[in-house]
Amino acid sequence: MKKENMGGFEQEDMEEIPHWKSKTGSFLSFIKETVFIVIAAFLISLVIRFFVIEAFTIQQHSMDPTLFEGERVLVSKLVYRFSPVEYGDIIILKSPMRSADYVKRVIATEGETIEIKDGDLFIDGKQVDEPYVKSVDVSNYGPVKIPYDKVFVAGDNRPNSLDSRIFGPISEDDIIGKVFFIYWPMDKIGFVN
């Protein structure tokens, strides 16, 4: 049997859905959609955190004055899948000596010979200007040729840095990612050079 609806059009006679069933169905649908969205957002955030970008809090003074203790940074975990580690990169690495991660600057890469004479850095026999170094440590190191798939790291605050001068070159596999952005404190928000 056909029935005329409010718009004047005919429609097939349908069993009427009780009012309470209609609301319950839409409420359950809303709950299902909300749970799906929350789970999807959680999974996406996990993928981003483990494979793309992660936030870190600086917990040492070894990178003063470039990065200070308590500052918060974003680290790209993908960058070294597409480009090599380069001199000057500031990285987060798995600590070879403690449970906490370290933040350091790459000062030599595979195949280069590093030497530190009276606090001055030499790469392949040429002195390197390091304007970011807070205070010079007049110690000596090397010469040492950096092996394949390794990098040499040091803090910008050399006298107060536990780095490759102590534990040697690190494997590129121990690099968590490259620091690229400071997001706290507010007055330092910006990209890391």
Active-site positions read 62, 104
Longest dimension (CA), the chain: 100
Sign of the alpha-carbon torsion through 34, 36, 39, 41: negative
DSSP code per residue over the chain: -EEE-TTS-EEE--PPPPHHHHHHHHHHHHHHHHHHHHHHHHHHHHHHHHHTEEEEE---STTTTTS-TT-EEEEESSHHHHS---TT-EEEE--SSSSS-EEEEEEEETT-EEEEETTEEEETTEEE--TT-SS-----EEEEEPPTTEEEEE-SSGGG--SHHHH--EEGGGEEEEEEEEEESGGG-EE--
